[in-house]
Amino acid sequence: MSQERIESMMDEKRHFAPPADSRGRAHVSGEAAREALVRRAAEDPEGFWGERAAQLIDWFKPWDTVLDADMNEPRIEWFKGGRLNVAHNCLDRHVAGNRRNKAAIIWQGEPEEDVRVLTYQMLYDEVRRFAAVLRKMGVHKGDRVSLYMPMIPELAVAMLACARIGAVHSIVFAGFSAVSLQNRIHDCEAKVVVTADAVLRAGRRIPLKVNVDEAVRQCPSVEKVVVVNRGSLEVTMEEGRDLWWHEVMADRTLDVDRPCEEMDAEDMLFILYTSGSTGKPKGVVHTTGGYLTYAAHTTQWVFDVQDDDVYWCTADIGWITGHSYIVYGPLALGATSLMFEGVPSWPSPDRFWRIVEKFRVNIFYTAPTVVRALMREGTDWTERHDLSSLRVLGSVGEPINPEAWMWYHTHIGKGRLPIVDTWWQTETGGIMISGLPYATTLKPGSATQPLPGVDAAIVRPDGSPAGPNEGGHLVIRKPWPGMLRGIFGSPERYRSTYFERFPGMYESGDGARTDTDGYFWIMGRLDDVINVSGHRMGTAEVESALVAHPSVAEAAVVGMPHAVKGEAIYAYVTLGADAEETEELRAELRAWVRKEIGPIATPDVLQFAEGLPKTRSGKIMRRILRKIAAGATSEFGDTSTLADPGVVSDLIEGRLQLT
């Protein structure tokens, strides 16, 4: 059986043609236009990227060369000799132009009544002020500033203020522990930390400043801590080190009129830590000219952002998605970016739809895990809101299984909206593989095709190109402007992680295959691919089949060692509200997968679970699930990113043996 049947499952039959560009203003309109751009970018990459950089970005001084690179070394320089400032591009030029009174950020706080609208002028004034505060504290060009903050406008202000003076920000997601924060501050030797007293989340006030106090004790580099009052929680302020945001911003002696720092295109813009295959997080480095060009370029084409749109990306700014698609991309374009402090499920599962209706959101970008969670709550919640303002939907972070795709399309997109499934990584800086809303025929579950100018390919372990439907390593064969330029402090790790295995190519670490139409199907991290009796199978494929069953809300599948097959399949299944955990259902689900994909995909073990271990960004931690499946329940490695540690002990208790 098998290989063909797995492939036929991946070969989704459903196709969705792009909607007509009836207003005649889409940035890329029609498949032919897209194809022409793909050809143009392939024939003359430097011409293509140079043109986009000139169209989208204001340069104080033009570049001497578009690209000077060698991916073997690696040495990557985009727009060398060019000079610019990111904050100038996101603010100053819009204020000087005609967007002074346009909303830059619409902020919806956790409490429904907490709404702030910052026009470009208002944001510009705040940023200039905080830039002056940082300067006064002795922060210079190249110095690092750690931001450990809730989703409040001050976070965007602090980012842009760093960019304005040429300081490098390192944002640490506010859900990380004191230890994780300490490691990150320590690694980049931050001079200043910006934080808040508390995070408001699902009706609770979670102390935040205490974690900074704990972290900074071991970080001699930190001279000042600036604290935003978000929750009026009592905090201890250390004399000489800690300062209130509202007090430093009220300082009348601040020099707010200093011009932006002129940065070189390859000067560092930010560091963002992400987990790798080893325990120590990697400080991914992004630079100025290439990153901003790429963020603006992809925001414009992938979401088709228009000047009058309200655009909403639901990510947290603590992740790369928030950096590129809440702050830098949209603001570089002069768009209106909605920022939300709360969670999708509180006070009720229609929070997102309430916000869409309230602000007449046009573009909505979220994660599959959110879609599946909301899907589980039923459509009563979606139906009570007017979602007719929506025009484009997006997905990011993990493969979106066809079932969730269809629910998103039917109940949020009302059967008519395009869904851009965007594949990319912290390291890529921006979207790499995705449909364009008015130019790509979509297949549920596929990220579709590489963007124009992105030379993505699937290769075999020896680096040779894989054929259609042959799973392999997803690599990028040509440099792109948004690519990472290093791992902070570890040039050797940078080289060996991304550029060693396949000489001259960037190794993403993901497995994927292309179908006969050249569409990309991401199979997940390569360590999530399991080999059952010599058959290569993406755990995502089995999960997708399980989730297609009406009783299943969510599923995670891992390999477990097996004496005969090499690996056996262990499935963790979370049921929908109406389903019951019975032996009948367990048998039915195994039979279901067998029917959907084939006998080799049948889970050998199927454990019902109340919840799955997830990172705070919503990614399932398969590493932990693999350990539990294998019966190795003591050594879980770094669990600091786990959203709810209680889930793990429940899973260990419910662990099943192979029978």
Which residues in this chain contact ligand 6R9 in the complex, by CB under 6 A?
274, 319-321, 396-399, 421-426, 447, 508-510, 522, 524-525
Longest dimension (CA), the chain: 76
3-state helix, strand, coil in the chain (%, to 5): 35, 25, 40
Which of 2, 159, 52 lies closest to 596 in space, CA to CA? 2
Query: What does the alpha-carbon distance between residue 37 and residue 439 come to, in Å, rounded to a whole number?
Result: 11
CA angle 188, 190, 192 (to 5 degrees): 165
Q: How far is the CB of 476 from ligand 6R9 (least distance, A)?
A: 12
Nearer to ligand 6R9 (CB atom), residue 130 or residue 365: 365
Q: How far is the CB of 509 from ligand 6R9 (least distance, A)?
A: 6
Query: What does the alpha-carbon distance between residue 582 and residue 575 come to, in Å, rounded to a whole number?
Result: 11
Nearer to ligand 6R9 (CB atom), residue 34 or residue 619: 619
Q: How far is the CB of 508 from ligand 6R9 (least distance, A)?
A: 6
CA angle 501, 463, 290 (to 5 degrees): 65
Q: How far is the CB of 302 from ligand 6R9 (least distance, A)?
A: 11
Q: Kindly tell me the burial class for residue 321, based on how many C-beta atoms sit within 10 Å of its own C-beta (0-12, 13-18, 19 or more).
A: buried
Which residue of this chain has its Cβ atom nearest to ligand 6R9 in the complex?
426
Name residue 397's beta-bridge partners: none
Query: What does the alpha-carbon distance between residue 119 and residue 122 come to, in Å, rounded to a whole number?
Result: 5
| Secondary structure of 83-147 in HEC code, one letter for each residue | EECHHHHHHHHHHHCCCCCCEEEEEECCCCCCEEEEEHHHHHHHHHHHHHHHHHCCCCCCCEEEE
Nearer to ligand 6R9 (CB atom), residue 185 or residue 522: 522
Cis-peptide, bond into residue 74, ω within 30° of zero: yes
Is 162:145 a contact under the CB 8 Å cutoff?
Answer: yes
Nearer to ligand 6R9 (CB atom), residue 127 or residue 548: 548
In the chain, the amino acid numbered 632 is: A
Q: How far is the CB of 436 from ligand 6R9 (least distance, A)?
A: 14
Nearer to ligand 6R9 (CB atom), residue 16 or residue 319: 319
Nearer to ligand 6R9 (CB atom), residue 274 or residue 389: 274
Nearer to ligand 6R9 (CB atom), residue 164 or residue 513: 513
How far is Cα of residue 190 from the mean position of the Cα atoms in its chain?
A: 24
Q: How far is CA 113 from CA 150, 196, 364, 642, in A?
A: 17, 20, 21, 31
> Strands 363-366 and 392-396, how do they pair?
parallel
Query: What does the alpha-carbon distance between residue 476 and residue 331 come to, in Å, rounded to a whole number?
Result: 28
Query: What does the alpha-carbon distance between residue 423 and residue 509 come to, in Å, rounded to a whole number?
Result: 13
> Strands 168-171 and 144-147, how do they pair?
parallel
Q: How far is the CB of 448 from ligand 6R9 (least distance, A)?
A: 10
Strands of 456-459's sheet in order across? 456-459, 472-476, 506-514, 520-525
Q: How far is the CB of 316 from ligand 6R9 (least distance, A)?
A: 11
For residue 600, which phi and psi values (nearest 5 degrees)?
-70, -15
Nearer to ligand 6R9 (CB atom), residue 408 or residue 608: 408
Query: What does the alpha-carbon distance between residue 637 and residue 275 come to, in Å, rounded to a whole number?
Result: 12
Q: How far is the CB of 499 from ligand 6R9 (least distance, A)?
A: 16
Nearer to ligand 6R9 (CB atom), residue 182 or residue 425: 425
Q: How far is the CB of 422 from ligand 6R9 (least distance, A)?
A: 5
Is 39:471 a contact under the CB 8 Å cutoff?
Answer: no
Q: How far is the CB of 174 from ligand 6R9 (least distance, A)?
A: 16
In the chain, the amino acid numbered 464 is: S
Q: How far is the CB of 273 from ligand 6R9 (least distance, A)?
A: 11
Is 200:112 a contact under the CB 8 Å cutoff?
Answer: no
Q: How far is the CB of 59 from ligand 6R9 (least distance, A)?
A: 27
Q: How far is the CB of 177 from ligand 6R9 (least distance, A)?
A: 18
Q: How far is the CB of 192 from ligand 6R9 (least distance, A)?
A: 26
Record the tokens describing residue 321, joined without a space. 């998605």
Nearer to ligand 6R9 (CB atom), residue 153 or residue 394: 394
Nearer to ligand 6R9 (CB atom), residue 263 or residue 512: 512
Nearer to ligand 6R9 (CB atom), residue 109 or residue 450: 450
Record the tokens describing residue 214, joined without a space. 């704990």
Query: What does the alpha-carbon distance between residue 37 and residue 452 come to, in Å, rounded to a whole number?
Result: 6
Query: What does the alpha-carbon distance between residue 448 and residue 522 come to, in Å, rounded to a whole number?
Result: 10
Residue located via tokens 């000799």:
81
User: What is the length of the chain?
Assistant: 659
Q: How far is the CB of 324 from ligand 6R9 (least distance, A)?
A: 8
> Strands 392-396 and 419-422, how do they pair?
parallel
Is 38:452 a contact under the CB 8 Å cutoff?
Answer: yes
Residue located via tokens 């499934």:
421
Q: How far is the CB of 418 from ligand 6R9 (least distance, A)?
A: 15
Nearer to ligand 6R9 (CB atom), residue 397 or residue 598: 397
Nearer to ligand 6R9 (CB atom), residue 10 or residue 134: 10
Nearer to ligand 6R9 (CB atom), residue 426 or residue 544: 426
Nearer to ligand 6R9 (CB atom), residue 213 or residue 398: 398
